[in-house]
């Protein structure tokens, strides 16, 4: 862990309070980008449509595409070849998503057919009061967000009396048979029941909804935890914690009038299943936005190449704090702790994009912000996961560094982090974006 003289950034524990509000307001990627856009609008950013011609004026702008958002601030002094400083993150989290034919049931129970998205800890979804949220696509070509923020569904666990082997063998769940939530009683299952219910809840007419992207979530709100409230428990920290911090950092950096580069927020969808979509990090969204920004300011391909060559991206995603009950699963010399500051994520097999030069960039930002940082390296016997970092570096040819906040219970319906780490991360991101 590196330390410095003391924090100098704009954010404190109030940032963590705002994070909890952000998590509660963002039960789906579509809600997350809407929440981020609302904060950007208050800071003076304006939305630009991808189908419109872009101008080269200075100021803050953003693009929304599905569950992804890219926002950037162009200083008045920016030239066409001015490089970018990017914070990348993702908006999606593992969960249970509604199938195209959702109405199901058996033995007097009405159920909703769901598909497993990403790699959730399935046991954490059992016996939870679940809401339903996402995006409804309408017959007129528009879409509408929907959020049933009350106990609506539940995946009931089998009583131990009917499976005594759990005590010795552990819980074993079949993704198809055991994870279908109930939402009522009745022997007659009628096609269209769930969507008609959502149309009524949304004030729409019957038949208005012709498509949907819906997911379940725990309605239990985020909360402080512990004797001294030094921890935060909540949903979707992987990776809305980073989306929230990056949004706050971008709006703070945009208040500066002496920037020598263009600060950018890029929050993608579909990281949890490979990033290969038009809204994922492996798609063309980020490159297209950056190129159009260069060309809108009168730039050429040569200007684009110069800008990209000087660009740096911090790929911010959650990582693993050392687990007190499973310390042997961690690398013996790298034990990130809660409230120890953001983590630098390193893997020489390029599961993370960090190299020595990238470490120096992040160290400089943390030193400027007065923020301590830690390093995460996985145990050699346990290959680590990956992030949007290597994808961003390879697809766009820009220097990328993987960082984040150390948490416990990653991919659970409810994760755990230190209450100070969110604002420590945000302050480090401000220092990075300001240069």
Contacts of residue 322, Cβ cutoff 8 Å, sequence gap at least 6: 330, 335, 336, 337, 406
**Distance, first Cα to last Cα, the chain:** 22
Rg value, the chain, Cα? 22
pLDDT in tens, the chain (435 residues): 333 344 568 999 999 999 999 999 999 999 999 999 999 999 999 999 999 999 999 999 999 999 999 999 999 999 999 999 999 999 999 999 999 999 999 999 999 999 999 999 999 999 999 999 999 999 999 999 999 999 999 999 999 999 888 888 889 999 999 999 999 999 888 899 999 999 999 999 999 999 999 999 999 999 999 999 999 999 999 999 999 999 999 999 999 989 999 999 999 999 999 999 999 999 999 999 999 999 999 999 999 999 999 999 999 999 999 999 999 999 999 999 999 999 999 999 999 999 999 999 999 999 999 999 999 999 999 888 999 999 999 999 999 999 999 999 999 999 999 999 999 999 999 999 998
Which domains are present in the chain? 13-93+235-434 (3.40.630.10), 95-218 (2.30.250.10)
Tokens standing for 90? 């993702």
Tokens standing for 274? 């490979």
pTM for this prediction: 0.96
Beta pairing partners, 281: none
């Amino acid at each position: 862990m590196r330390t410095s003289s003391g924090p100098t950034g704009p954010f404190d524990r109030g940032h963590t309070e705002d994070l909890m509000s952000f998590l509660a307001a963002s039960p789906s990627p579509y809600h997350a980008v809407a929440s981020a856009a609302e904060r950007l609008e208050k800071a003076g950013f304006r939305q630009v449509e991808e189908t419109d011609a872009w101008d080269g004026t200075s100021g803050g702008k953003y693009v929304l595409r599905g569950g992804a958002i890219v926002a950037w601030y162009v200083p008045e002094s920016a030239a066409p070849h001015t490089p970018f400083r990017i914070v990348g993150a993702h908006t999606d989290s593992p969960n249970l998503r509604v199938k195209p034919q959702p109405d199901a049931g058996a033995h007097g129970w009405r159920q909703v057919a769901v598909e497993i998205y990403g790699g959730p800890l399935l046991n954490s979804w059992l016996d939870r009061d679940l809401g339903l949220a996402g995006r409804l696509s309408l017959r007129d070509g528009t879409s509408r967000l929907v959020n049933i923020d009350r106990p609506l569904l539940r995946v009931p666990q089998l009583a131990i009396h009917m499976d005594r082997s759990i005590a010795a063998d552990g819980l074993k769940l079949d993704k198809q048979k055991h994870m279908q939530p109930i939402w009522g009683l009745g022997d007659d299952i009628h096609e269209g029941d769930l969507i008609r219910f959502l149309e009524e809840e949304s004030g729409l007419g019957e038949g208005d909804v012709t498509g949907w992207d819906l997911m379940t979530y725990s309605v239990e709100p985020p909360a402080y935890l512990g004797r001294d409230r030094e921890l935060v428990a909540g949903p979707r920290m992987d990776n809305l914690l980073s989306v929230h911090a990056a949004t706050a950092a971008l709006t703070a950096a945009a208040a500066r009038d002496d920037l020598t580069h263009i600060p950018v927020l890029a929050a993608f969808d579909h990281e949890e299943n490979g990033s290969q979509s038009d809204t994922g990090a492996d798609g063309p969204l980020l490159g297209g936005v950056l190129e159009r920004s260069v060309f809108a300011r009168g730039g050429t391909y040569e200007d684009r190449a110069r800008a990209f060559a000087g660009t740096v991206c911090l790929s911010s995603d959650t990582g693993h704090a050392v687990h007190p009950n499973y310390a042997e699963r961690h690398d013996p010399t790298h034990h990130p702790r809660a409230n120890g500051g953001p983590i630098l994520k390193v893997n020489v097999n390029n599961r993370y994009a960090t190299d020595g030069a990238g470490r120096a960039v992040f160290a400089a930002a943390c030193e400027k912000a007065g923020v301590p940082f830690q390093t995460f390296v996985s145990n050699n016997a346990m290959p680590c996961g990956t992030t949007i970092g290597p994808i961003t570096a390879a697809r766009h040819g820009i220097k990328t560094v993987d960082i984040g906040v150390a948490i416990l219970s990653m991919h659970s319906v409810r994760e755990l982090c230190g209450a100070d780490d969110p604002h420590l991360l945000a302050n480090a991101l401000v220092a990075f974006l300001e240069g």
